[in-house]
A and B are shown apart, each in its own frame.
Chain A
Amino acid sequence: MATFGTAALFVTFVLAVYATGAAVLAARRRDRRLMQSASNALTAAFGTTLAATFALLIALARHDFSIRTVADTTSLQLPWQYTLSAFWASQEGSLLLWLTVLTGASALVMFQNRRRNRELLPWVAAVLGGITVFFSGMLSFVSQPFQQVSGPPPANGAGLDPALQNPYMVAHPPMLYLGYVTVAVPFAFAMAALISGRVDSRWLVAVRRWTLFSWMCLGVGMLLGAHWAYVEIGWGGYWAWDPVENAALMPWLAATAFLHSVMVQEKKGMLKVWNVVLVTATFSLALFGTFLTRSGVVGSIHAFVQSSVGPALLGFIAVVLAFAVTLIVWRLPILRSEHRLESVVSREATFLFNNLLLLAFAFAILWGVVFPILSEAVRGVQSTVSTPYYNFFLVAFGLPLLLLTGIGPLVAWRKASVNSLARTFRWPALSALAAGALLALLGLGSSTAGLTAFSLCVFVTITIGLEFARGMSARRAIAGTSWPRSLVDLIGRNRRRYGGYVVHLAVVLLVVGITASSAYSTASEATLGPGQSMRVAGYTLTYAGLTRSSDTNSTTTSAVLDVSRNGNRLGSLSPGQRIYPVEGRSTNEVDIQRSMLTGTDLYTILQGISKDGRSVTVKALVNPAVSLIWVAGAVFLLGALITIWPDPREARQLARRYAAALAREA
């Protein structure tokens, strides 16, 4: 199996080298047969990578401890689902997942474009092939997934880190990787547009769904990771501004900026340079995130094992940046805007400000991540920035962004008058002010940023609500349909616009959840004997005693806490400590009681058990509205799917625009 997998990866490398060379030649000679051959080679590379992937999965399933990655990340006692998810627990396995997604996406791009974008496709194939050469080369020569253990195979493996034995860890890494890797497709099209000189909006249209898909996967992946941290790591939070978390957030912010600025290029022929810069930034940041997690250059709660792939990845990022910057500079003369920005009060200006804020936030995060390296280079000793630094920028850039989320979609293109702005935003602004005053009266004025965020959330919600109401009224007036039917029709007729609004609603829910759970959280810690109680934010927790339970690969000791509020019993919670004998580790197992009405969590952690077993130390947190963050994830997914879903009407419009563009060129 190991020989087969290694051979399959080497064949992938050879195919990728051939595809890259053949695609470049096909582009230069305008040779369609050679292009077809390059396309076939890329598709075949997906097949061979898939073969290597199955080989590793079979080795995991068969507990083949002669393979180092299997011996290091699994054991005979590990449940089957985690035995398979151990695929991406090792560096080699996660790189193989990278390559599988990359070659799969490349094959799909070749298939989707077999009859269109013929001028761009050879260069797209060359760029995707080049990226595949790098990753298959690393897996073939630097970080081999099928490397054998030295000496005889061990009787049992070392097991999987207990923190990774969680259902969210089965879904979170692949989702994040789908996002990271598929960003390569928009990048390849952008580079192809620059090389071929076809820099109109056609390449943007070709990658729109790919960009949305990458962005959706990154967003959902981050939320899955946040939920994993919340339920598994056991400190009561869900985001710690860890470099690995930041690594996913940065390309997501850049992709968000790109999704907005493409609309300006499609509609007005502006921001052409900006868009290729954003695509390059997104892909480079995705690669930088991969580099961060492997190089060991920055401290993190995640493992930053020193490895040989770090320098290779850094070199590859340098090549990508040099390649892209050279092309952009070379093509600057044909990247001029077709129109000028006429007013700072217009939709295009609003999108531009939104872009600046998103990029500034991404830069602030990048600065925070690399600050230890920079400070060491300058002063000889590392300095780090902590949570207050990131929170400062979250507020400084996040609140204006939230305001623009409400304003942007409703401002007219080209130029808006003050009167029309007053008409459009009168009710949302008054509602936001009234909500702010009400919340201050209710005692939420302790956090100015929190109060401002809530008020802006009301502003955005009202603007979106009015948009839906206006659209549905118009549909009813035209077609005489019911309200629910008019809602479905409205979304169906303009999926991009109304799907975008749904995503904006998700942003509102996310902001409310994050603000409430961080600015208004309450925590308490106490050591309790049987029958003793502690209070936190109106809840009373009474310790009833210890219980023990066993699983196939772990033993758990839990403290039973009876929960009541205002004298009413609300059930019990059992936070525990779990011991994994094979891995030689213990973990905290939190227990959470969730209010379906308010979304508030009562979150309990068993901090310690006294040596005689008579008392326990319990930490309890009340996190208001934290559930809204996970609801926001579902709404975000719904909105993103609406925008991605194929729209025949849009396809017909695009076909007409293509035909017109081709006629102009002819």
Chain B
Amino acid sequence: MTVRPRLVIALAVASLLSVFLVYTALAGSQTLLVSVDQLAANTSNAKSRTVQLTGTAVRCEAGPCSRLDAPFVFTLKDDGSSGTVRVRYGGGSVPDAFKEGRHVIVTGRLRDGTFVAEPDSLVTKCPSKYSGGGDGGSG
């Protein structure tokens, strides 16, 4: 076998292997990201599986959101409508930027009408050096 065909085969194998790896890795680790309204509408069976839920934190039941330690319960509002869902954040770290009006992503599952979030899954879209400053200066 000359070098060129051998190299072509090696490249083809590498490419196929890459595609395979992408496929297998994706098949095992993708999570649905839904809005509050999509969760309510059970889009892609979101009500019966673990999903990432995104929306705006509007109110925490025990007081100001920025001063709370887990566990606590808050209301998450859809970004495009008035739809809301109750979220129970049972434990783990609370991002520094978490407060009312903040866009958040939380991972968990709907149980009896309340979205039960996994520990350490609360993520805020916090302001950063890249922020547009259009959110009252705080992102």
Q: Does A608 contact B (CB under 8 A)?
A: yes
Q: Does B33 contact A (CB under 8 A)?
A: yes
Q: Which of A66-74, A422-430, A456-464, A656-664 faces chain B?
A: A66-74
Q: Does B52 contact A (CB under 8 A)?
A: yes
Closest CB in chain A relative to B11 CB, distance in Å: 7
Q: Which residues from 112 to 139 on chain B have a C-beta closer than 8 Å to any C-beta of chain A?
A: 120, 123-139
Closest CB in chain A relative to B17 CB, distance in Å: 9
Q: Chain A 285-320 against B: per-residue CB contact (8 Å), 1 yes, 0 no?
A: 000000001100001111111110000000000000
Q: How far is the CA of A344 from the CA of B5 in the complex (A)?
A: 11
Q: How many residues of B contact A (CB 8 A)?
A: 54
Q: Does B48 contact A (CB under 8 A)?
A: no
Asked if A164 and B129 make an inter-chain contact with CB atoms under 8 angstroms apart, the answer reads yes
Task: Check A344/B10 contact, CB under 8 A, given A299-B105, A371-B30.
Answer: yes
Q: Does A233 contact B (CB under 8 A)?
A: yes
Closest CB in chain A relative to B14 CB, distance in Å: 6
Closest CB in chain B relative to A558 CB, distance in Å: 15
Q: Chain B 1-45 against A: per-residue CB contact (8 Å), 1 yes, 0 no?
A: 001101100110010001001100110111111100010000110
Residues of A within 8 A of B (CB): 68-69, 71-73, 88-92, 94, 157-159, 161-164, 169, 172-173, 233-235, 244, 293-294, 299-307, 340-344, 349, 356, 360, 363-364, 367, 371-372, 375, 379-386, 388-389, 392-393, 396, 583-588, 605, 607-609, 617, 619
Listed by A's residue number, 20 A-B pairs whose Cβ atoms lie within 8 Å are A68-B133, A161-B138, A164-B127, A172-B129, A244-B130, A303-B126, A303-B127, A303-B139, A305-B135, A307-B134, A342-B3, A380-B43, A381-B33, A382-B33, A384-B31, A392-B25, A584-B99, A607-B70, A608-B70, A619-B93
Closest CB in chain B relative to A93 CB, distance in Å: 9
Q: How far is the CA of A459 from the CA of B10 in the complex (A)?
A: 25
Q: How far is the CA of A302 from the CA of B105 in the complex (A)?
A: 12
Kindly list the 4 A-B residue pairs having the minimum CB-CB distance in the complex, ordered from nearest.
A158-B137, A608-B69, A305-B132, A303-B131
Closest CB in chain B relative to A367 CB, distance in Å: 6
Asked if B93 and A360 make an inter-chain contact with CB atoms under 8 angstroms apart, the answer reads no
Closest CB in chain A relative to B50 CB, distance in Å: 11
B28 surroundings in chain A (CB, below 8 A): 388-389
Closest CB in chain B relative to A264 CB, distance in Å: 14
Shortest Cβ distance from A300 into B: residue:
B125
Asked if A585 and B136 make an inter-chain contact with CB atoms under 8 angstroms apart, the answer reads no
Asked if A302 and B130 make an inter-chain contact with CB atoms under 8 angstroms apart, the answer reads yes
A233 surroundings in chain B (CB, below 8 A): 96
Q: Does B54 contact A (CB under 8 A)?
A: yes
Q: How far is the CA of A157 from the CA of B136 in the complex (A)?
A: 10
Task: Check A161/B127 contact, CB under 8 A, given A68-B133, A585-B97, A588-B96.
Answer: yes
Q: How far is the CA of A564 from the CA of B104 in the complex (A)?
A: 38
Task: Check A303/B125 contact, CB under 8 A, given A91-B133, A584-B66.
Answer: yes
Which of B7, B28, B124, B128 has the largest count of A CB atoms less than 10 A from its CB? B128
A381 surroundings in chain B (CB, below 8 A): 32-34, 38, 43-44, 46
Q: How far is the CA of A372 from the CA of B52 in the complex (A)?
A: 12
Q: Does B67 contact A (CB under 8 A)?
A: yes
Q: Chain B 54-96 against A: per-residue CB contact (8 Å), 1 yes, 0 no?
A: 1000000000001101100000000000000000000001111
Shortest Cβ distance from A376 into B: residue:
B33
Shortest Cβ distance from B119 into A: residue:
A525
Identify 11 new A-B residue pairs, CB closer than 8 A, beyond the known A303-B131, A588-B93, A607-B69.
A161-B131, A161-B139, A163-B96, A235-B93, A235-B120, A303-B130, A385-B30, A584-B138, A586-B66, A587-B96, A608-B70
B130 surroundings in chain A (CB, below 8 A): 91, 94, 244, 293-294, 302-304
Closest CB in chain B relative to A518 CB, distance in Å: 16
Selected from A72, A294, A344, the residue in CB contact (under 8 A) with B137 is: A72
Shortest Cβ distance from A292 into B: residue:
B130
Asked if A169 and B33 make an inter-chain contact with CB atoms under 8 angstroms apart, the answer reads no
B136 surroundings in chain A (CB, below 8 A): 72, 158
Asked if A161 and B32 make an inter-chain contact with CB atoms under 8 angstroms apart, the answer reads no
Selected from B11, B54, B96, the residue in CB contact (under 8 A) with A162 is: B96
Which of B26, B43, B130 has the largest count of A CB atoms less than 10 A from its CB? B130
B105 surroundings in chain A (CB, below 8 A): 299
Asked if B129 and A389 make an inter-chain contact with CB atoms under 8 angstroms apart, the answer reads no
Q: How far is the CA of A69 from the CA of B14 in the complex (A)?
A: 49
B120 surroundings in chain A (CB, below 8 A): 235
